[in-house]
Amino acid sequence: EKGGYAHYMLKEIFEQPDSIWNTIRGRMDSDRGNSVLSGLNVQPRDLAELHRVLLIGCGTSLNAGLVGEYAIEDFAGIPAEVEQAAEFRYRNPIVGSKDLVLAISQSGETADTLAAVREAVDKGALVAGLVNVVGSTIARETGRGIYLHAGPEISVASTKAFTSQVSCLLMIALKFARAARMSRERGVRFVKEIEAIPDQVREVLKQNDHIAEIAENYIKAESAFYIGRGYMYPVALEGALKIKEISYIHAEAFHAAELKHGSIALLTEELPIIALVPDGPGKDKTLSNVAECRARGSKVLLVATEGDDEVNDYGDDIIRIPAAPLHAAVIPATVALQLFAYHVARLRGCPIDQPRNLAKSVTVE
Ligand code: M6R
């Protein structure tokens, strides 16, 4: 049932060109430069009234929410905020009928996310689910939303759910942007940018053997730092979460600018840096942060754009992703880090599909 793969996680990583396609298929209107998200049931007229979008979730789904926050603000110009679902419930949030709450959950059963959904419903907000499991509690209680259609995710470490969640959030950003100031022409390009993602993921998957070789240089680490800026900051968070979960290496993700505000004190030759530096805004700044780390002897793994030779002198190892605008590059960059985490864990002899202390769905608070 693992389709010839050694682990479900690897199978699910490799399924992503198809699972992402299944998420976007039939939901893009290339002619109108828009997305068609009927289950969301939000009309352009409702959007004009909207004050804010709140994205809630836990773990990987929370990291996806952060990408959604950036994309919705970036393209649609609607204030957006991401919040850990448990925090949302317990801090008596200010939320009401002019707010759209997007509850993000692979399983649709996560207790904290469900409790937040109920709180948002009680406060009169518009609540929609971004859920993978059809008929799950969150899908039912939100009543509106978008199914991911990523197919069953068995591995405890979430992979294809994240890339489908991000694909959905980009489609939402497009829809909201088109109801505001985004032109049809820009919308048409945006659709193309999303549709290009499955092939970009294929390009990353082709480097599986190369990534496995690179992974060997990192298996002795006790701790690792992941850094990125802008759209690459959630990717850093997700990369660090993956490696913690399955390889048991302590990892932390930082906004690249934050490192120098304290944590840089921890750097030694034993602590590698994984830096997200695809070509685009923020790259040069992150590279300067990388240079500061290298000056302290840290080994550096870069995730960079194919053909971008400017980065060559900054990293000991480099994983290349195809050229893409950063909101789309989130997905191939994450896939690169999924494979990296997988191989590090495999080489360390870890039980990849069933990491210690973890269950697939967290139905207790
Ligand atoms: O099913 P959900 O998306 O609501 O689950 C949320 C988290 O428990 C989940 O993403 C968890 O962080 C994963 N094990 C991460 O790989």
- 362 Cβ inside 6 Å of ligand 1: yes
Which of 315-320's residues contact partners 24+ apart within 8 Å by CB, and which partners?
A: 315/275, 315/290, 316/217, 317/214, 317/217, 319/204, 319/207, 319/210, 319/211, 319/214, 320/207
**By the 8 A CB rule, do 9 and 157 touch?**
yes
Q: What is the DSSP string of 285-322?
A: HHHHHHHHHHTTT--EEEEEETT-GGGGGG-SEEEEE-
- 165 Cβ inside 6 Å of ligand 1: no
Given the DSSP bridges, would you call strands 223-228 and 52-57 parallel, antiparallel or unpaired? unpaired
Q: Which of 337, 346, 354, 335 is closest to 157 using CA atoms? A: 354
pLDDT value at residue 156: 93
pLDDT value at residue 92: 87
> Which residues have CB under 8 Å from 213's CB, separation 6+?
none
From 110, 131, 148, the mutation candidate for ligand 1 (largest count of ligand atoms within 8 A of CB) is: 110
- 317 Cβ inside 6 Å of ligand 1: no
pLDDT value at residue 236: 98
pLDDT value at residue 305: 98
> Which residues have CB under 8 Å from 17's CB, separation 6+?
198, 199, 201, 202, 205
- 106 Cβ inside 6 Å of ligand 1: yes
Mean pLDDT by 10 residues, the chain (365 residues): 93 98 97 96 89 97 98 97 92 92 97 96 96 97 96 96 98 97 98 98 98 98 97 98 97 94 90 97 96 94 98 97 98 98 97 85 78
Annotation marks residue 123 as catalytic: no
Q: Cα of 26 to ligand 1 centre, how many Å?
A: 27
Give nearest CA residue, ligand 1 atom 4.
Answer: 105
pTM of the full structure: 0.97
Among the atoms of ligand 1, which is closest to the Cα of residue 360? 14
Q: Say which amino acid occupies 78.
A: I
| Distance (Å) of CA 200 to CA 89, 132, 335, 339 | 38, 23, 10, 15
pLDDT value at residue 105: 98
pLDDT value at residue 358: 82
